[in-house]
Amino acid sequence: MPEGEAQLHPLAAYKGVELSVADRPLVAELVDRLRASGGFGPISIAGPASIHARLELDADLIDTDSSVAENLRAALRHHAEREHRQVAIMACDVLPTAEELRDLAALHAAGGPCACWIPLVRRPEDDSRLGSFAWKPRYDLQVRGEAQPIHVLPGHLTVLEPAALQLDLVLGVMDVAYTTRNTPVGPRSRRMALGVLSLLLRADLARLARGRPPALTWRVLGCGFWLARALRSGKVSLEQAELRLARAFLTDDRRGDAGTARGLRSPIVDVLSLAEDVDTQEEADFLHLGHP
Query: What DSSP string runs through 108-145?
Result: HHHT---SEE--EEEPPS-GGGTGGGTTS--EEEB-TT
User: pLDDT tens digits, residue range 216-226?
Assistant: 899 998 888 88
Cα–Cα distances in Å, from 286 out to 96, 226, 282, 290?
Answer: 15, 36, 6, 11
- Rounded Cα–Cα distance for residues 46 and 68 (Å): 10
- Domain map of the chain by residue range? 15-162+268-289, 164-265
User: pLDDT tens digits, residue range 62-89?
Assistant: 999 998 899 999 999 999 999 999 999 9
**Spatial CA neighbour of 157 closest among 67, 38, 266:** 266
CA gyration radius for the chain? 19
Do 250 and 265 touch, CB atoms closer than 8 A? Answer: no
- Rounded Cα–Cα distance for residues 237 and 214 (Å): 29
Among 3.90.550.10, 3.90.950.10, 3.10.180.10, 1.20.1070.10, name the CATH number for the domain at 15-162+268-289. Answer: 3.90.550.10
- Rounded Cα–Cα distance for residues 174 and 181 (Å): 10
User: pLDDT tens digits, residue range 88-114?
Assistant: 999 999 999 999 999 999 999 999 999
- Rounded Cα–Cα distance for residues 53 and 181 (Å): 29
Res 186 pLDDT > 80:
no
